[in-house]
């Protein structure tokens, strides 16, 4: 139980990746606070955690709302005694499939603004508590790398690079206060692609084919690595990325 006694806030906790991470944290003993806009999805994850003997709380929250994010973080810290882990996994609404030369400006910029805004708000809220308590881990989810040929990813890589720049800066500022900031990088998680999504199987196959190991990260893989990085076993890791792309992204 490597996260026993830890309190973890997961934004987008009702999603595929957020849910997998939440369940992995709970299995390792963390008390999990799930935040998102759809209560039904959050409750479904919370019920799975509780059924397995874990502790989960839910809060309907817009992670783009400054006041709501600050208030929720303060409530969690007051209720649980602090915030040890914060992980933002909300969707940014990036538009893919259209060449940049044909995209509307709003389709490119809106998801970038969303990603930077929610990342800043949730990281700031957690950082303030982590500075006071002298410890904590903020995790980011990324995958920045060379754009693959034949795919039109819109602003996705711009988002990843923006978050990485934020991660470097915050890690340098939080280090003296004992808090860490680490990014998990994947080359894509096929299980997270919604059923019925156009060319879902082809995309999943291409993700695996692009890796050196001939397979992609699973949701369980992401959860297990996130739990490790968030634990004291990884206490020397900060200002860093953890590559879980099975070799699709080469460092």
Residue 242 pairs in a beta bridge with: 184
Residue range 172-182, pLDDT digits in tens: 999 999 999 99
Average pLDDT over residues 66-92: 98
State the pLDDT confidence band at 57, using cuts at 50, 70 and 90: very high
Helix, strand, or coil here: 35?
A: strand
Report the percent of the chain where pLDDT is more than 70: 100
DSSP 155: T
Q: In which region does residue 100 sit, left (phi positive, over 0), alpha (psi from -120 to 50) or beta (all else)?
A: alpha
Q: How confident is the model at residue 214 (pLDDT cuts 50, 70, 90)?
A: very high
Q: Rounded to whole angstroms, how far apart are CA atoms 115 and 45?
A: 23
* Model pLDDT for residues 5-56, shown as the tens digit of each residue: 999 999 999 999 999 999 999 999 999 999 999 999 999 999 999 999 999 9
Secondary structure (3-state) at 83: coil
Residue 89 has pLDDT above 90, yes or no: yes
Cβ neighbours of residue 177 under 8 Å, at least 6 residues apart?
130, 131, 134
| 127 pLDDT tier (thresholds 50, 70, 90) | very high
SS3 state of residue 228: helix
Q: State how far the Cα of 232 lies from the Cα of 80, in Å rounded to an integer.
A: 19
- How deeply is 183 buried, as exposed, middle or buried, from its count of CB atoms within 10 A (0-12, 13-18, 19+)? buried
Over residues 179-201, the pLDDT tens digits come to 999 999 998 999 998 888 778 89
Contact (Cβ atoms closer than 8 angstroms) between residue 245 and residue 211: yes
| Confidence band of 246 (pLDDT split at 50, 70, 90) | very high
Residue 145: band (very low, low, confident or very high) from pLDDT cuts 50, 70, 90: confident
Please provide residue 240's backbone torsions phi and psi, each rounded to the nearest 5 degrees. Answer: -140, 165
């Amino acid at each position: 139980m490597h996260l026993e006694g830890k309190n973890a806030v997961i934004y987008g906790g009702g999603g595929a990746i957020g849910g997998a991470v939440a369940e992995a944290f709970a299995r390792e003993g963390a008390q999990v606070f799930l935040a998102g806009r759809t209560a039904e999805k959050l409750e479904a994850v919370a019920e799975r955690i509780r059924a397995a003997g874990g502790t989960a709380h839910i809060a309907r929250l817009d992670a783009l709302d400054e006041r709501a994010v600050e208030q929720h973080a303060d409530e969690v810290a007051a209720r649980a005694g602090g915030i040890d882990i914060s992980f933002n996994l909300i969707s940014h609404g990036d538009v893919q499939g259209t060449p940049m030369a044909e995209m509307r400006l709003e389709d490119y910029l809106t998801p970038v603004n969303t990603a930077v805004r929610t990342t800043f708000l949730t990281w700031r809220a957690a950082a303030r508590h982590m500075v006071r308590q002298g410890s904590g881990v903020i995790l980011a989810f990324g995958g920045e790398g060379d754009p693959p040929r034949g795919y039109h990813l819109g602003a996705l890589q711009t988002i990843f690079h923006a978050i990485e720049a934020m991660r470097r800066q915050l890690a340098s500022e939080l280090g003296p206060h004992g808090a860490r900031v680490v990014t998990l990088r994947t080359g894509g998680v096929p299980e997270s692609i919604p059923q019925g999504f156009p060319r879902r199987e082809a995309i999943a196959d291409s993700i695996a084919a692009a890796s050196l190991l001939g397979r992609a990260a699973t949701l369980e893989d992401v959860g297990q690595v996130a739990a490790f990085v968030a634990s004291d076993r990884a206490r020397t890791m900060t200002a860093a990325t953890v590559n879980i792309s099975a070799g699709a992204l080469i460092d």
